[in-house]
A and B are shown apart, each in its own frame.
Chain A
Amino acid sequence: GENVEQHPSTLSVQEGDSAVIKCTYSDSASNYFPWYKQELGKRPQLIIDIRSNVGEKKDQRIAVTLNKTAKHFSLHITETQPEDSAVYFCAAYDYKLSFGAGTTVTVRA
């Protein structure tokens, strides 16, 4: 089955700086890669996603890149704000979602 690895496990950034989270996947059949943000005590919320036929996608301060050949995808958050503090999960989809271990992002004011 699919194996998704996510790094780093924790990330602390100064407000206004950028944050980057990286994931790798093992199953070349995976064709959809969403990112979820989970705040304490809440359900995971989809923040951005990318299909396997697209290399990059941007939504305001958030962008995701995908390298299918290398089986890498990354989340980029620019101009970080305190409300970006949360746990972020990457996932890969091949008929079901497999999640990375999560990254706890802390934005220091």
Chain B
Amino acid sequence: SAVISQKPSRDICQRGTSLTIQCQVDSQVTMMFWYRQQPGQSLTLIATANQGSEATYESGFVIDKFPISRPNLTFSTLTVSNMSPEDSSIYLCSVDPGQGYGYTFGSGTRLTVV
């Protein structure tokens, strides 16, 4: 299965600022996903990032708040914009090597907004 390097692992940010999270995959994958996991909660899909096209956002998530880049088949970034304390969560990227089999996650970014 694919190996994903995600950074930063954690950050403490001031409200109103933005943070960009990066994920690098050791192999080419078509589909990458970004999830949010609030404390004690399940994983919620933010958006699907496909190379060469606009990201597809889930209900409740918008591009202005969570812009995503996918410049190639091994890399993606998620930006959390104009942060508020409610954005404090763990953000995880993941990849789908094919039809869900071997779906793996990055190590996560623990974001605290103060």
Contact = CB atoms under 8 A, between A and B. Distances in A.
Interface of A: 31-32, 34, 42-44, 46, 49, 89, 93, 96-102
Contacts of A46: 1, 102-104
Contacts of B102: 46
Interface of B: 1, 33, 41-45, 48, 92, 94, 96, 99-108
Given A96-B33, A99-B43, A101-B42, A44 B105 contact: yes
Contact of A89 (B42, B48, B94, B101): B42
A96 B35 CA distance: 11
Given A43-B105, A43-B106, A46-B104, A102 B99 contact: no
Nearest to A32: B100
Nearest to A94: B100
B100 A93 contact: yes
Contact of B100 (A44, A97, A100, A102): A97
A72 to B, nearest CB: 19
Most A CB contacts (10 A, CB to CB) among B42, B43, B94, B102 go to B42
Given A42-B107, A43-B108, 9 more contacts: A31-B100, A32-B101, A43-B105, A43-B107, A89-B42, A96-B45, A96-B48, A99-B43, A101-B42
Nearest to B99: A32
A33 to B, nearest CB: 9
A44 B43 contact: yes
Given A32-B100, A93-B99, A96-B48, A43 B43 contact: no
A98 B33 CA distance: 12
A7 to B, nearest CB: 13
Most B CB contacts (10 A, CB to CB) among A34, A42, A96 go to A96
Most A CB contacts (10 A, CB to CB) among B41, B92, B101 go to B101
